[in-house]
Amino acid sequence: MKFINQAGWDRILRVFGGIALIVLYFADVLTGTLGIILAVAGGVFLVTGLAGWCPIYAMFRIRTNREVGAS
Amino acid sequence: MAVPLPADLDANGAPTLLQVWAPRCASCQAMEPDLVASAYAHPDIRLVRVDAGAEPETVASLRVLGTPTVIGIVDGAEVFRRTGRMTRTEIDQAFESLAGDTTPPVATTDGWLRVLAGATLIVAGFFVELSWPLFLGGASVLVWGTSTLLQRST
C-alpha cells in the first residue's frame, strides 16, 4: 500500500501543470524532442498528482503534507 | 526532522506508532491498556514497542531521553513525538493523525480531483483538433475518479 506524501496544493499544481504540458504538446505548441520530454514529464506529474504519492519524495523521505500530531 | 530509526522500520512501510517503555515505568503501565485498546481500534497502524532496558542502542539512536515516549513514523520519517503519560484521547489522536495519511477522508478529494482532471482532458481534446489520446486519457482518469468516489460512498 502506498501512502499520500503530497499536500493538496502540491497535487493540484502537478495535475493541472501536467495537463497543461500534455495539451500544449498535442496542440503542437511544444514540438520536437523537447516537446516530447515535456509531454512525458507532464504525464508523470499528472499521474503522481492524481495518485498523491511521489516516488522521488519517498526515496528522499520528503513529505509536503507533513502534519504535527500529538506533540 | 528525520531521526535515524531501527532498520526494520523501512521507508515505505506502514505508518507506525513506536513506544519506548520500561518495565519499572509507572506511567508506561498506566497507559498500557489504552495503548493496546487504541492499537486494536486502528489495525492499519503498526504498533512497535521498544523496551528501553533491553534495547539501549535503539533508544540511543532514537534520541529518547525518557519513558514513555511515543513516536509517529510515516515513510520511515518521524512525524511527531511525545514524551510523558498520554490519555486515551491523546493516544487515539496520535493513531488517527497517522491513519489520516492512508485513506479517508483524502480518498473523497482524490476522487473529485481525478474526475475534474479527466473532464479537463476530455474538454481539452475538443479544442485540440479532436485529439484521441486526450479523449482516451481523460476518459480513463474520469473512470478512475468515479470508481474512487463510488468506493467511498459504499
Question: CB of A52 within 8 A of CB of B85?
Answer: no
| pLDDT above 80 (res B107) | no
Q: How confident is the model at residue B153 (pLDDT cuts 50, 70, 90)?
A: low
| pLDDT above 50 (res B2) | no
Q: What residues in B contact A58, CB-CB < 8 Å?
A: 11-12, 75
Which cell goes with A10?
A: 502540491
- Per-residue pLDDT of A12-25, as tens digits, reads 999 999 999 999 99
Q: Nearest Cα to B95, choosing from B52, B151, B31? A: B31
Residue B78, classed as helix, strand or coil, is strand
- Per-residue pLDDT of B24-65, as tens digits, reads 899 899 999 999 998 888 888 888 899 988 888 888 888 888
CB atoms A67 and B100 under 8 Å: yes
Q: What residues in B contact A12, CB-CB < 8 Å?
A: 113
Residue B108, classed as helix, strand or coil, is helix
| pLDDT above 50 (res B105) | no
Regions of chain A where pLDDT drops below 70: 1-3, 66-71
Answer left, alpha or beta for residue B76, where phi above 0 means left and psi between -120 and 50 means alpha: left
- Per-residue pLDDT of B70-98, as tens digits, reads 998 887 778 888 888 888 888 888 888 88
- Per-residue pLDDT of B115-131, as tens digits, reads 999 999 888 888 887 68
In chain A, positions 21-50, which contact chain B (CB-CB < 8 Å)?
22-23, 26-27, 46, 49-50
Residues of B in CB contact (< 8 Å) with A are 2, 11-12, 14-15, 70, 72, 74-77, 79-82, 86, 90, 93-94, 97-98, 100-102, 106, 109-110, 113-114, 117, 120-121, 124, 127-128, 131, 133-134, 137, 141, 144
Residue with cell 503519560: B85
* Per-residue pLDDT at B152: 62
* Per-residue pLDDT at A17: 94
Q: Identity (one letter) of the amino acid at A62?
A: I
Question: CB of A4 within 8 A of CB of A52?
Answer: yes
Count of CB atoms situated within 10 Å of the CB of B73: 25
* Per-residue pLDDT at B133: 86
* Per-residue pLDDT at A16: 93
* Per-residue pLDDT at A70: 33
Task: Quickly list DSSP for A7-64.
Answer: -HHHHHHHHHHHHHHHHHHHTTSS-HHHHHHHHHHHHHHHHHHHHT--HHHHHTT--T
Question: Nearest CA to CA, how far is B122 from chain A (Å)?
Answer: 10
CB atoms B80 and A61 under 8 Å: no
pTM of the model: 0.54
Closest chain A residue to the Cα of B69, Cα to Cα: A71
